[in-house]
Amino acid sequence: MKKWEKEIFGRKLSIEHGKMAKQSLGSVVLNFNESTILVTANASEKPKPGTDFLPLTVDFKEKFYAVGKIPGGFVKREGRPSEEAILSSRLIDRPIRPLFPKNFHNEIQVISTVFAMLSDDSIETWSITGASLALNLSPIPFNGVVAGVRVGYVDGKYVVFPTQEELEKSKMDIIVAGTNEAVTMVEGESLEVTEDEMVDALMFAHDAIKEIIKFEEEIIKDFNIEKWEVEEPECPEEFLNDFEKLIDEEEIIKRLLVDGKKNKDKNLAEYKKSIFEKFEEEYLDKWSESFYNEKKGFLNEKYEEIFKNTMRRSILDENRRADGRGVDEIRPIECETGLINRVHGSALFTRGETQSLGIVTLGAPMDVQMVDTIFSDEDKRFMLHYNFPPYATGESKPLRGPGRREIGHGHLAERAHKNLIPSEEEFPYTIRMVSEILESNGSSSMASVCSASLAMMDAGVPLKKHVAGIAMGLIFEEDKNVVLTDILGIEDHLGDMDFKVTGTREGITAFQMDVKVDKVTREIMKVALEKAKIARNHILDLMYDAIPEPKKEVSKFVPKIKTVQIPQKKIGDVIGRGGEVIKKIMENYTVEVFIDDSGLVKVTGFDTDKIDQAINHIKNLTTDVERGNIFEGKVTRIEKYGLFVEVLPGKTGLLHASNMKPKPTEFKLGQKVQVKVLKVEGPGKFQLELLEEPKEEKDGGQ
């Protein structure tokens, strides 16, 4: 068992190895401040048969005991991972995935288990460092050392691993991962920060990452780990050369420029098929059918390599992209609102062959999402859900629940808007935003940001400004690089960077970046952000043309909500014993009534008049009767010595015979009388005097 300790960022960090999970190929226990995680790395000893990709699985296991909680619900144990756990898994996965050897096809599993957690410690971010150490201390091939940090921006200063108190005052909350050479992943949100502020944050984060990596390298030096050898399959060079002779790069470019994703894919697939058929015709006798079948995979790899290089050179040398656009050109955009009847708000955002239908539902306070995880225990009143059905790419697949990708894309789009959603006092509705991806050819998450903004304004959500998003790409070769605006799916797949930026005209609201190379400098990021700003403003102009401001009123299909603030000490008067008072209010006025601990009462229903009557009733219930108050009351009881008059719901006083000229027997039950409070004798006890004699009721008819 070995242990290393270091004071870092003002808190204590310790790493233990060889005490827990010793049968894992690699494992570390990481303690930061008051939090503890166990990160393990394991892999199969042999490649997974028939696999041509990296079968990596990363899991972040949240344990409720880590924060001293028992899971809610009937079954008192952890179940399926929460969205927060899935998002944390993605955070760990993205920076480590590119660091495995290209031909390593063994099944790999990395698990981060939370044993103890203080919310200030950002333990999901430290899991990136834990994964890096576990993999480096295992025999699993892994090419590099990576670390992650969380960065805030408080009072004009950048803070590494900010506390929750600091985050409440911070203009940004981003998680950054990287190697010694460069930043490779970013995920986060911000309060309309500038491009320069974002670049400075990334550089600040990279300095902190290098400090953690230095500590990791000190630990790794204490070991002499023998890594598994990655089998490099061999293939005769002449075999590949014969195949390469048949490929015409100009023909690839010609087919890349075919309009329409489906047509382009079809043309490219036909050309690739024709090359293989031509090879079989010309060279099968030379290499034999059995040899060809054995080594055919190498030919496929060779073709993909040539295809990739051809597309990249076309961009670098000729500024010509896969669809013929220039490097800074955005695809045609269309914005429409109010498409779907009866839904509370809708918008269709189309950018090239990517299309998002945004639909808003406005709900009552009871519709909030109750979040119960180790990260938070709160009610969430704004949700953005992202759906990617198979027909979006013209495919036929079984329908499943949302996967990690869908959850991640929805979370990014939600972050883009969450800090601009009106407060509950200003707009008391629960807001559920759904993005249905109807077509996809690049950056459907950014289309979701735009459709959400348009749809919410169509629904009458009082947003002060639109939010738009754009995806940037990068092609990097030796001493030349090109930043691409509004990337296609193929440019994301074959390029070196996927860089998503959302924001308003005033600044950036959310940010996500994944980089496949370690050569992205400050200058490249600055260029990418400036180009993203230009593109974002162009999209915002079109969105403001479509709907310049929120509708003044919500749809007639939306339940109306009004609020009233009552004193906290009066909450019990409105609820009543066993809820009898509040139930009667809801029944009498056909409304729903919700009261929070602060005394804010929300009344919802479809009839505005009845909502107003219910609110007036609640105001009366919580109004104290004071000396000198004048009321029009109702006679509820008649005695020889006086009348009992209800001046407010549940508040009845005595109008003594000595305080009125007519005799009590001259009144009728239910009769309205104008009275003044003469004396308050205690809680619920007060005396009245008559202000006006009741008018005689005339008989009607003959």
pLDDT in tens, 68-109: 988 877 888 888 899 999 999 999 999 999 999 988 999 999
Q: Quick one: pLDDT band at residue 135, thresholds 50, 70, 90?
A: very high
Q: Say if domain 560-621 classifies as CATH 3.30.1370.10.
A: yes
pTM of the model: 0.86
Separation CA 307–CA 275 (nearest Å):
12
Same fold? 2-221, 333-546: yes
Could you read off the pLDDT of 589-624 as tens digits, one per residue?
A: 999 999 988 898 999 999 999 999 999 889 888 888
Separation CA 209–CA 521 (nearest Å):
15
**pLDDT of res. 693:** 66
498 is in an annotated binding site: yes
Separation CA 465–CA 425 (nearest Å):
18
Beta bridge partner(s), residue 43: 108
Rounded mean pLDDT of 369-378? 80
Q: What is the DSSP letter of 327?
A: T
CB of 532 closer than 8 Å to CB of 201:
no
Concatenate the DSSP letters of all residues of 16-40 into one string.
EESSS-TTSSEEEEEEETTEEEEEE
Domain ranges of the chain: 2-221, 237-318, 333-546, 560-621, 630-690
Q: Are strands 430-439 and 382-387 parallel, antiparallel or unpaired?
A: parallel
Tokens of 79: 């179940």
Q: Is 369 a residue whose pLDDT tops 70?
A: yes
Could you read off the pLDDT of 514-553 as tens digits, one per residue?
A: 998 877 888 999 999 999 999 999 999 999 999 999 999 9
Could you read off the pLDDT of 640-687 as tens digits, one per residue?
A: 899 999 988 778 999 999 888 888 888 999 899 999 999 988 777 889
Report helix, strand or coil for 133. helix
CATH architecture of the domain with residue range 2-221: 2-Layer Sandwich (3.30)
Report helix, strand or coil for 314. helix
492 is in an annotated binding site: yes
Fold of 333-546: Ribosomal Protein S5; domain 2 (3.30.230)
Q: At what angle do helices 261-287 and 237-244 cross, to 10 degrees?
A: 130
Rounded mean pLDDT of 301-321? 91
Q: What percent of the chain has pLDDT over 70?
A: 99
Q: Is 696 a residue whose pLDDT tops 90?
A: no
Could you read off the pLDDT of 678-693 as tens digits, one per residue?
A: 998 877 788 999 887 6
Q: What is the DSSP letter of 694?
A: P
Q: Are strands 685-690 and 651-656 parallel, antiparallel or unpaired?
A: parallel
**pLDDT of res. 700:** 40
Separation CA 292–CA 239 (nearest Å):
9
Q: Say if domain 630-690 classifies as CATH 2.40.50.140.
A: yes
Separation CA 323–CA 306 (nearest Å):
18
**pLDDT of res. 222:** 93
Burial class from Cβ neighbours inside 10 Å (0-12, 13-18, 19+) for residue 298 reads middle
**pLDDT of res. 694:** 60
Q: Are strands 147-154 and 172-178 parallel, antiparallel or unpaired?
A: antiparallel
Rounded mean pLDDT of 332-361? 96
Q: Is 213 a residue whose pLDDT tops 90?
A: yes
Q: Quick one: pLDDT band at residue 695, thresholds 50, 70, 90?
A: low
Separation CA 605–CA 590 (nearest Å):
7
Tokens of 403: 């996967």
